Amino acid sequence: MTIRRFLFAAGATLSLWCAAPAVGLAQTVWKASDVHPLGYPTVEAIQRMGKKLEAATNGRIRIQMYPSMQLGGEKEMIEQAQLGALQIARISVGAMGPVVDELNVFNLPFVFRDEAHMRKVIDGPIGQELLDRITASPQSRLVVLGWMDAGTRNVYSNKPVAKPADLKGMKIRMMGNPLFVETMNAMGGHGVAMGFNELFGALQTGVVDGAENNPPTLLAQNHYTVSKVYSFTGHLIIPEIFVFSRRTWDAMSKEDQQLLRKVSREAQLEQRALWDAYVGEATTKLKAAGVQFVEADKAAFYTATQPIRDKYGAKYAALLQRIQDTK
């Protein structure tokens, strides 16, 4: 049995209709997965959504959350959702670029002026168009339920990175997408593509000298225990999405699809509030744990990464212009 077949069989078994003893109704269990642990804003928002689904259907639909990479990294989660072995996957747009190319526009360095700009874009027509494009794309085999926030990504390692020259000779882990590796190379470092599930070990053993992410991830994934300096390079502001298996979706009633759409919209709003609160909390905890926060010359990193925006942005020039025009 191939791993794919096994995963599909396992997922199919879980989502089978089975007896729900408490209410005597048939019950559907949707598997949801996230790389982050319980309590993280994205995980919490999906779990709250599960509670609402359960209440609205008198226990007929339930969500079972598999947090902390129990089902693998994001690439694996996307594959499992495509097969129907997993129903809900919360993933970064970074991991979706290889699936739907146009999304790579959001993966460009410094494409958004700041987080407020990014929110305006995803909350407006551009955000909706991109979600629709993923859902409509035959090769995605996913239905997008909504956006989630993930703040700004900054470099962390054991030394300050204030300007491009500081990255010289440093191996920095990037998400598995050539665009990110080239971005780090343009910033002055040496980008290394690696799955998120391998990163903690790689930081510990010195396979890489650092990585880049938002403060909540630095805390929740315990990376701060090995990387003690967080430098505000601000090179990427990448939103996240939560997607649903097209295979499961197509077998659902119209009413259940509508209900899922409704609670998903609420989950998107709820995650944003949870996110804003958690960023502050994470920063306080990181400082208390001795992490040093360093200001960086963002303008220098912006200039250094211009070739990346030129190269990858050329075919989406009109979309890029609309993003820039979003005030």
Q: Which residues bind ligand GTR (CB under 6 A)?
A: 35, 74, 91-92, 94-95, 150, 175, 196, 213-214, 217, 240
Residue with the closest Cβ to ligand GTR? 92
Residue 21's identity, in one-letter code, is P
Minimum distance from residue 217 beta carbon to ligand GTR (Å): 4
Question: What is the DSSP track for 40-101?
Answer: SHHHHHHHHHHHHHHHHTTTSEEEEEE-TTTT-SHHHHHHHHHHTS-SEEEEEHHHHTTTSG
Nearer to ligand GTR, 29 or 208 (CB): 208
Nearer to ligand GTR, 35 or 61 (CB): 35
Minimum distance from residue 56 beta carbon to ligand GTR (Å): 28
Listed in sequence order, the residues at least 6 apart from 319 whose beta carbon sits closer than 8 Å to its beta carbon are: 102, 105, 126
Nearer to ligand GTR, 140 or 217 (CB): 217
Nearer to ligand GTR, 196 or 249 (CB): 196
- For the record, the structure tokens of 172 come out as 């920095």
Q: Which residues pair with 174 in a beta bridge?
A: 193
Minimum distance from residue 228 beta carbon to ligand GTR (Å): 19
Nearer to ligand GTR, 78 or 304 (CB): 78
Look at residue 135 and give its three-state secondary structure.
helix
Minimum distance from residue 314 beta carbon to ligand GTR (Å): 25
- For the record, the structure tokens of 42 come out as 């994205």
Question: What is the DSSP track for 181-201?
Answer: HHHHHHHTSEEEE--HHHHHH
Nearer to ligand GTR, 29 or 161 (CB): 161
Minimum distance from residue 123 beta carbon to ligand GTR (Å): 19
Minimum distance from residue 265 beta carbon to ligand GTR (Å): 20
Nearer to ligand GTR, 106 or 196 (CB): 196
Cα–Cα nearest to 86, from 35, 25, 158, 30: 30
Minimum distance from residue 155 beta carbon to ligand GTR (Å): 12
Backbone angles phi, psi at 192, to 5 degrees: -125, 120
- For the record, the structure tokens of 239 come out as 């939103």
